[in-house]
Structure 1
Amino acid sequence: MDNTKDFRRSILVADAKAADRKILSEILSQQYDVIQTENGSEALAILRSRKGQISLLLLDLLLPEIDGYAVMESMIKDGELAKIPVIALTSEKSAEVKSLQLAAVDFLTNPFDTPEVILARVRHSIALNEQTKLIQSTERDLLTHLYTKEYFFEYAKQLQERNPNTTMDSLAINLTNFHLINEIYGRNFGNIILQTIAADITQLAEESEGIGCRYNADGFFLYMAHHWNYEKPLERIQFHLSELLKETEIHVRMGICQGTFRSISIEQSFDRALYACNSLRENFTSAFAVYDEKMHEEEVRKARILSDFADAVEKRQFSVLYQPKYNIHGEFPVLSSLEALVSWSHPEFGKMRPDTFIPQFEKNGLIQKMDKYVWKEAACQMRKWKELHGTTIPVSVNVSRVDLHDPKIVDYLLQITKENDIDPSQFLLEITESAYIDDNNILVETVKKLREAGFKVEMDDFGSGYSSLNMLATLPIDAIKIDIGFIRKIIYDKKTMYLVNVIIGIAKEFGIPCIAEGVETKEQLDLLKNAGCEIVQGYYFSKPISPEEISELRKKAIRQDI
């Protein structure tokens, strides 16, 4: 439905001759509201007082006071008035060229054409102008006046086609924690920040014969002629932001895909620029990154990891290995439990450690499928060991933050343990400490339900950055697992060892054991034992090994000073 037909538009007729004004008004008033004036000064005054209300100006070029040419020149200087289409009224052919140069859209010559022709020309001029405005409203972002993403890519392609010999760079620019600016200072101030950045991007685009775009709430694209000093545009943006914000309040980051990647599309070049930009999320030492071959290989590898997941499960390329945990409380270390760890024998990348693919699964929603695969494999192996040795050795498995939001997690784990004749207390669940920060209430309730069902819950990576005494007081757990980063430094850093002593002391106060992972030397072992740590795991005792090797290990009665 065309709602634009539901109202009468207003037309200003500015003509020095009263007879001509009368003729035109009689013809146009059938369909339009007509306003008349006989001189240029009054025409401009009417246009300015009725901005947004005049749909068309019929303009005599020979007006008194200010002629038609001067009227059009004044309209061009005023951004809003420049949007009003002008039909020039003239009897001189020579005047047409100059009128076109001043943005007239059509001409009516005196003596005038038939009423039907005049109305047709008027309708066409108004319709064309309104269509142009409609296109422009979707073409530009209303806040920053930069191109919207769809139009940006189209114009970037045209720019590339018109300048095939010019090397163009694709830049992605965004802000770290911009949402906090809106929360602290309000949305209006946040808009000022965005407009400040957009102004710099507009200027940079003009200087380099490029174009700019706002591609999302706080993200911008810039397509500009290639140059090597990327620090200058970044410094310009940061300088203007520093006039509005403290240095610590906002961080600008920029990713660049150089025009040397000529074999890819415009869209792909900005995907790569954005990839480079996002690589800086946790990096506060550098504000820009250039997409290179190494980054490309890494991006392809990550994409392959995700796309190959289903095939890897089907072909059983994932192997579950087990790293022994030893109780060191007594005179001799005693095997107390195992941790299930997954590795991937990729047909192209070879043997892959979990830290090379698990983070990708966490980011893309595959982690829950990975976890369930490991849970099933571990539970099945526990049953086999029980049948082989007559006893069950506890095995711990990782539970991701995604799993904790699954309302069926308790039932699923109970089903696995029941199918494999395992007591839930022997199936240990390691929940990373960082999961607590996502949703305290959900985590606490889920952990309570798991413990009520008989499972034991260990807090993994304790001390990695999210821990608090309040968390330990509210979160029901059965063991604390000290983050490996502490263990690596306890030999040469007294402060770290002091913190480890504090953690172990807290665990004792809560009546739960403390587990240290990543123990590789006897010095580390002795320090932990003297501090009162009960359980350790690491390469000092054993690397993660196969189920068959675990069976051999269990057959040996380890009663020696290791």
Structure 2
Amino acid sequence: MREEQSTSVVVPGMDAFTLEHNLKFKRQLLQHVFDNALESIIVTNANGIIERVNPAFTQITGYSAEEVLGKTPRLMQSARHDPDFYRQMWQQLLQHGSWSGQVWNRRKSGEVYLQWLSINSLTNARGEVTHRVAIGHDLSGQRSLEQDRTPFTFKDPLTQLGNRQLLATRLEQALAEAQRNKIRVGLMVLDIGRLKPVNEQLGMTWGDDVLRQQARTLQAAVDEADTLVRLQGDVFAVLRHSKAEDATMAQLADKLLNLLAQPMVLADKNIVCLQPSIGIAVYPRDAREPENLLQAAEYAHAMAKREGRNRFQFVDQRQHELHHRELIIEHSLSHMLSTGEAQGISLHYQPQVCSSDETIVGLEALLRWTHPRLGRLSPVEFIPVAEQSGLSVRLDRWVIEQVCAQVSAWQRRGLAPPVVSVNLGAQQFSQPDFGDWLMSTVSAYGLRPRQLRLEVTESTMMEQIEAGVNMLQQLRECGFALSLDDFGTGYSALSCLHRFPLDELKIDRSFMVEACEHERAQILLCTIMALARQLSLSLVVEGVEQAEQLALLKDFGPLRVQGYYYYKPMPVDEIWPLLDLAAGRPEGEVLN
């Protein structure tokens, strides 16, 4: 953008009078625009000294022209931007001749307001900067007008604060500015605490009154430049657009806790004592995307509540990363179970071998997961996530269907596969339809119940003995084989063992490890085996990985053993050849 030159351009057919008239009209037009623009306009010289301002500038800032002429725009700075912000602004102005972005400025009254500012340089014919023009749009006034016009979009009707939609909009804008200007943004999620007893004891009307009072308390406590919204229920959020250092965020959190925890006297003379909790997340340390920053603050808030309330909690980055990882796992599991897309999940099978003749007498179906984002996941990590998220019932049934389909495929190939063991989670026992569903599924694939062995852990049985016993009895009557997994590692409730309708005990690998190193552990292993025989239960020994471990078992007669000494868990395409050989025909030969 270049300054108008004073030299006259002679147009053929245009006399000096007409030319002067046109220039005068143009000057009047520019003056009219300058005087009536809704945006504030500041004109400075090349050194940044203010030479002209328009009436909108006075209306927006409160400063008259006489108060600012001869001074610099630093007069309006809010101190909410660090020196780097202005250094980068000037660097861009010098390099490109223009700059635009959001700026926090201060009115003469001291009020801080948000402004969209565009600065352009004017140059002469030699390319030298002679003036700069700054045009500012008052965003606080615009946003207030938008909220008044669309109260059900951006405003919470109960507290008259902003709502989640407003926070999403402001958060996106704040992070964009923070990224551009390399500043920190803070986000608090807080609840006033113990509102439910107020609603239950005094009624929803008084509960709403408490929310309105606490909203006014919060509004008076936060800075005008902050964004305060009600997310839901008694949960609020405070967005600090700049200067979100840990110390200042902690000071604000401590201040809010003290204010919100003050006893409240309601109109009916009831006194209410609340227990607020606050979670704090900071951009860019804790997250770089708006939704992730909110998620981090919500997680920190949950941690503060879990630690006993009346406290604030910054994001524990390690715990937050674990939580985020769990959310990815949960989402992927849910997507897989809803759509049938495997997401890298597959079944491996580990053979169980007869110790006397080394023939394969059983298989255990085991979940394996190579996640597209997280890589290889252990069942120790994703099975607890499935249980905590309520997905374990569906996951168990998905595994059973996959096993039934695979056994059916083996049979169509002409094989007689050994019994396949499938693990059941604790939540399956609370499903009254499980027995009927299982029978229907097995029948649909043309299988018999005895072709499946259902494994339950000792801890699962002890958590719900009555329901567990009833469910197992029903399954056994249907013809399914039942196994108690990880025996001796949980409750070891021998007094209840006789009540469980079992066919098999499965001895955990930890016993084999200890028995090779300690004589007392070896005696305990022998005792468990003798107990199983007395109860007419078959035995499977897990974790047999070395020849000396197998040698310890030679005096106990034929046993089923499972471990890396014989086979690791293998995908289906590696199990096929083993079953072919077990059937007594050359590997790869297919029966028609």
Q: Which TM-score band (shorter chain)?
A: 0.5 to 0.7
In angstroms, what is the RMSD of aligned CA positions? 4.1
**Aligned AA (1:371):** D
Alpha-carbon contact 2:221-2:256 (below 8 Å) kept: no
Match of 1:480 in 2: 505
Please, what TM-score do these two structures have when normalized by structure 2? 0.51
Match of 2:398 in 1: 373
2:330 maps to 1:302: no
Match of 1:346 in 2: 371
Alpha-carbon contact 1:205-1:211 (below 8 Å) kept: no
| Distance in 1 separating the partners of 2:300 and 2:398 | 33
Alpha-carbon contact 1:504-1:532 (below 8 Å) kept: no
Match of 1:319 in 2: 346
Deviation at 1:267, TM superposition (A): 8.6
Match of 2:297 in 1: 269
2:442 maps to 1:361: no
Match of 2:415 in 1: 390
Is there any run of 5+ residues in structure 2 with no aligned partner, and where?
A: 1-191, 202-208, 227-239, 264-273, 585-592
Match of 2:269 in 1: none
Percentage identity across aligned positions?
27
| Distance in 2 separating the partners of 1:306 and 1:398 | 20
Deviation at 1:460, TM superposition (A): 1.0
Alpha-carbon contact 1:414-1:424 (below 8 Å) kept: yes
Alpha-carbon contact 1:457-1:478 (below 8 Å) kept: yes
Alignment of 1:120-519 (within 5 A): 159=221, 161=223, 166-169=247-250, 212=261, 222=277, 269=297, 271-272=299-300, 274-275=302-303, 291-313=315-337, 314-317=340-343, 318-328=345-355, 330=356, 332-519=357-544
Alpha-carbon contact 2:277-2:305 (below 8 Å) kept: no
- Structure 1 residues 406 and 161, CA gap change in structure 2 (3 angstroms): same
Please, what TM-score do these two structures have when normalized by structure 1? 0.53
Deviation at 1:258, TM superposition (A): 7.4
- Structure 1 residues 431 and 345, CA gap change in structure 2 (3 angstroms): same
Deviation at 1:273, TM superposition (A): 5.0
**Aligned AA (1:316):** A
Deviation at 1:519, TM superposition (A): 2.1
| Distance in 2 separating the partners of 1:464 and 1:138 | 40
Alpha-carbon contact 1:152-1:213 (below 8 Å) kept: no
- The count of residues paired between Structure 1 and Structure 2 equals 344
Deviation at 1:211, TM superposition (A): 5.6
- Structure 1 residues 169 and 531, CA gap change in structure 2 (3 angstroms): farther
Q: Secondary structure at the match of 1:333?
A: coil
**Aligned AA (2:350):** Q
| Distance in 1 separating the partners of 2:212 and 2:540 | 54
Deviates more, 1:533-542 or 1:365-374: 533-542
Deviation at 1:319, TM superposition (A): 0.9
**Aligned AA (1:298):** L
Match of 2:62 in 1: none
- Structure 1 residues 315 and 402, CA gap change in structure 2 (3 angstroms): same
- Structure 1 residues 546 and 207, CA gap change in structure 2 (3 angstroms): closer
Deviation at 1:482, TM superposition (A): 1.6
Deviation at 1:220, TM superposition (A): 6.0
**Aligned AA (2:374):** F
Deviation at 1:379, TM superposition (A): 0.8
Alpha-carbon contact 1:170-1:258 (below 8 Å) kept: no
Alpha-carbon contact 1:321-1:341 (below 8 Å) kept: yes
Deviation at 1:533, TM superposition (A): 7.4
- Structure 1 residues 362 and 262, CA gap change in structure 2 (3 angstroms): closer
C-alpha deviations, 1:391-424, integer Å up to 9, x for none? 1311011111211221221221112221222221
| Distance in 1 separating the partners of 2:456 and 2:427 | 11
- Structure 1 residues 295 and 460, CA gap change in structure 2 (3 angstroms): same
Alpha-carbon contact 1:213-1:221 (below 8 Å) kept: no
| Distance in 1 separating the partners of 2:527 and 2:365 | 28
Alpha-carbon contact 1:513-1:533 (below 8 Å) kept: no
| Distance in 2 separating the partners of 1:429 and 1:335 | 18
**Aligned AA (1:269):** A
Alpha-carbon contact 1:515-1:536 (below 8 Å) kept: yes
